[in-house]
Chain A
Amino acid sequence: MSETKPKLAFYWAASCGGCEITITELGMRLVATSKKVDIVFWPCLMDFKYSDVEALEDDEIDVCFFNGAIRSSENEHVANLLRQKSKLLVSFGSCAHTGGIPGLANFYDAESILERVYDTAPSVDESRGTRPTPSFEVPEGIIEIPTFYDQVMTLDQTVEVDYFMPGCPPVADQVWNVFQTILAGELPDKGATIGVDPKTNCDVCPREKGEGGFRVTEWKRPHEVDLDPDLCFLAQGVICCGPATRAGCGLPCISGNMPCRGCYGPPEGVFDQGAKLLSAIGALIDTEEPELVAQIMDTIVDPGGLSYRFGLANSVMAELKYRQRSQESDT
């Protein structure tokens, strides 16, 4: 009987644990599902070692849900290992899909991050110039820790991925839908983005657009405005990533009176979510005075972090940066 149960694996690379929580949010549905499947690897909830995975046959895992970005040699090693052992590899959650929050590290490089952490952060009393040492000799032998990479990568940039499931985290109902689809053997063609709706959040958002329209002379941050729960955020001068973000989350942020942060990634056909958002925001500018343009742009604090909050690692922007780097190191 147990031979016929599909084997599942879950893994977290550079991630926060939110993707695991969304699965536990399934509650009794998870308990019911767990009787129909064999979980062969899930470091967050169950006691497994990498050697358990190494001991599996190739393709022995039916479906692996991989969350987290690739930012260390350990992440990369396990991504390769799980790819080898899995029939289907699902890029689960924003970090694996588009880099997510860890991907924002691509605005910097490894050394400047380590310098901040070990030398200049306010919590550092006295800098000792400490740095993680990937390999260190002690009397008992050699201790090795993973190498911290210069670039945060998506799972798809590291190994071949069969399906993409965006979200920070993917909402429980969509996870449930995807489980059902898998168990029913009704997955779409490989390469598809699953657990999502076809259009963007504006398509399903119930908020009114407002009478006055929403050309903007000043962008405000959510905490600076007493937000009307029924009015489009853009009409209130607050940037919402909804117009450039794929629908499917069920709008938990927007229902909570917070603008969309963009975690479900770009809709079909869009190469670069952040660039599209910048284009839409720029289109709303309301001035005829050229000197005011910069002033209005200044009201957008951290345009990069805002427009690429979840998608930086997967962006054309990052591609340019790391291509330039590799060309520089070639010459």
Chain B
Amino acid sequence: MADQSSQTQSFADQVRAIPGGEHLETCYSCGTCVSKCMIQQKIEPEYNPRRLLHMVMLDMRHETFESPTTWLCSACDLCYPACPQEIHISGVIGAVKQLAVEAGYESPLETVSVEHSLCSGCGICVMTCPYEAPHLVEEEVDGEMDRFSEVDANACMGCGICVAACPMGAISRPGVSNEEVRVQISVPESNGAPRMVVFVCDWSLRADADVTLLESYPDNVRVIHIPCTGRIDPEMTLLALRAGVDGVLVCGCAPGECHYKRGTVVSSCKIGLLNRVLEQMHVGDGRVRFVQIGTQDRGRIRKEVDGMLEHLATWKEAA
């Protein structure tokens, strides 16, 4: 069926036929979307939604499917309010991606995998995923029906929100698995200076200077890069405190600017709940802090890190 229709329909027609793809032809290639896009700025200079839409209209099917733009768009929709034509660009790219998957192309991203022997099939990952990548399946294992989660690698954007949400630690993503993050949580003794871990979502730092600044802090400030603050789980934060760290600063995107749609809100809820329990235990003291840095907030990371260090120094002195 698909083959037949692809012979009679142009590539652009096919994209338009998928919900989200219908706005394709209103694009007049102004490029405002590109100027807003964090992917283009941060990881892939070749990333270009404007060009992708143009390629679709020029019937460049295979080039479109192979383009990083097709796979990297996380539907953060920072470009959407900026588009003068009100094109929901991530919707169009999503339609292109759907056709690419149907044509047998695979996502080049690092994606998550579920260890079935650990998965209890609770469905938390299914519910928290911004991309509907995990789903529960039932299969007969050793004569008994077993329910577990499976992840559609082409839908997964690798944000790690599910890795943190999984109560069994059954989900991992190369680079940010529980083990890989845990080994980074160690801060050397530093002559009485506060020891601090900064979990930073790199999408939240728009300016290169801010990224470089983080590298300039001495050893008592351990910076751990994560794809999204949704990857942070309270257990990880507690393990940092247990390891002798004085404070944990979690830096995420501003409300509405999360690169993975709901990571920021999920993280603010988790850290918020953790802080409420720490308060109940009388061990809060502002030692765990969640801040949200907007795309316009150049230089704010310095204020946040310095502010936290100052707070921790005062706290240590009082203790």
User: Footprint of B on A, CB under 8 Å?
Assistant: 106-107, 199-203, 209, 213-215, 232, 234, 242-244, 247, 267, 269-272, 274-285, 287-290, 293-294, 296-297, 300, 302-305, 307-308, 316-321, 324, 327-328, 331
Contacts and interface: CB of A to CB of B under 8 A. Distances in A.
Given A269-B169, A285-B265, A243 B120 contact: yes
A296 B276 CA distance: 13
Interface of B: 118-124, 126-128, 136, 146-147, 161-162, 164-169, 230, 233-235, 237-239, 241-242, 255-256, 262, 265-270, 272-274, 276-278, 280-283, 292, 319
Contacts of B269: 281-282, 285, 293, 296-297
DSSP majority for the A interface?
helix
A319 B240 CA distance: 13
A278 B277 contact: yes
8 contacts: A107-B280, A243-B167, A275-B238, A277-B167, A282-B165, A283-B128, A290-B292, A304-B280
Q: Which of B168, B238, B278 has the most CB of A within 10 A?
A: B168
A279 B265 contact: no
B77 to A, nearest CB: 11
Contacts of A242: 122
A215 B127 contact: yes
B281 A276 contact: no
Nearest to B237: A275
Contacts of A213: 126-127
Contacts of A288: 255-256, 262, 265
A290 B268 contact: yes
Given A270-B169, A303-B276, A317-B278, A243 B239 contact: no
A275 B234 contact: yes
B167 A279 contact: yes
- Which of B121, B127, B169, B277 has its CB near the most chain A CB atoms (within 10 A)? B277
A270 B168 contact: yes
A176 B276 CA distance: 40
B270 A279 contact: yes
A293 B265 contact: yes
Contacts of B278: 317
From A203, A279, A293, A317, residue with most partner B Cβ within 10 Å: A279
A280 B165 contact: yes
A213 B283 CA distance: 35
A308 B277 contact: yes
Contacts of A202: 120-123
A278 B270 contact: yes
Nearest to B126: A213
Given A243-B122, A317-B283, A283 B266 contact: yes
B238 A203 contact: no
A272 B235 contact: yes
A284 B235 contact: no
Contact of A304 (B122, B230, B268, B281): B281
A328 B317 CA distance: 11
Nearest to A307: B277
Among A214, A275, A288, A304, residue most surrounded by chain B Cβ atoms (within 10 Å): A275
